[in-house]
Amino acid sequence: MPALLEISHVSKRFGGVAANVDISFDVQQGEILGLIGPNGAGKTSLFNSIAGEVTPDSGEIRLDGVKLSGLGPVACAQRGVARTFQVVRSFDSMTVLENVMVGAFAKHASSRAAMRAAVDVIAFCGLSPRMDRPAWSLSPPEKRRLEVARALATEPRVLLLDEMLTGLTPTEAQSGVQLIRDVQARGITIVMVEHVMEIVLPLVGRAVVLNLGQVLTIGTPAEIVKNPDVIRAYLGDRYAA
């Protein structure tokens, strides 16, 4: 089966800094793929390339065989790649329902239909009690959920989560993990950037480890924790077995 999302030979430089160097991997339909690595590994750059926010200098990103890279974020969203932001970007002058409706309008022209779809997604994300509250009044974990709800309202095929679980208390993170599992159960493919390994590894089927802009290794969580290169990248030479 061909991969849903293909990242092939993607490179991106910012001035003198090579953020991504020749990165290639595939994302299969329905999986949760983790994108991990120490700070400065190039996770966010790659993430932004997939979301269309930046255009790679070379290489291609394809969704279902159709080239996405270079089309920009609007086209990526319309073609089924939705994302959340590491630093939450809610529309603070709007209510939760209005925030999610902005996403729903990507697939529904009429406001009735968009509203109905948005109400469903809000219920799915467990935000129904907050539906009519202004977005600025939500707690940080609720805002993260709002970002997921808004992205899901665009009815994506791939959902990109940028450090969605970072900075949450263990209980909050646990309910976030459950939400991600529920999203996967809907048949939506997930790529998540995270640098806290113990959160990501139980959740993902496979993970791509980036270091210094390059792919260090790709594998299942069990393979990754044993990989000496990964241990060296995270902890330094002293701890490498």
Partner 1 sequence: MDNAILRRRKREVLGGVIVLAALALLPLPIKDVYTQNLIIITVLFAGLAQAWNILGGYCGQISLGHALYFGVGGYVSTLLYLKAGLPPSLGLFAAFGVSGLLALPVGWPCFRLSGHYYAIATVVVGEIGYLLFLNWDFVGGATGVFIPFHGESWAQLQFKTAKLPYHYLVLAFAAATWLTAFLLEGSRWGFAWRAVKDDVTAARSLGVNIFSSKMAAAALSGGFTGMGGAIYAQYVGYIDPDSVLAGHFSILIALPAVLGGVSTLWGPLIGAAVLMPASELSRSYLGGSGRGVDLMLYGGLIVIVALARPQGLVSLFGRKDDHARIA
Which residues are at the interface with partner 1 (CB under 8 A)? 51, 53, 72-74, 77-78, 82-83, 85, 89-95, 97-98, 101-103, 105-106, 109, 111, 114-116, 119, 131-137, 150-151, 153-154
Nearest to 31 by CA among 205, 217, 218: 205
Q: Which is nearer to partner 1, 13 or 133 (CB)?
A: 133
The Cα–Cα gap between 180 and 200 comes to 11
Q: Which is nearer to partner 1, 107 or 232 (CB)?
A: 107
Q: Which is nearer to partner 1, 20 or 48 (CB)?
A: 48
The Cα–Cα gap between 146 and 43 comes to 23
- Minimal distance, residue 114 CB to partner 1, in Å: 7
What is the DSSP code string of 4-58?
SEEEEEEEEEETTEEEEEEEEEEE-TT-EEEEE-STTSSHHHHHHHHHTSS--SE
Contact 152, 189 (CB under 8 A): no
Q: Which is nearer to partner 1, 93 or 178 (CB)?
A: 93
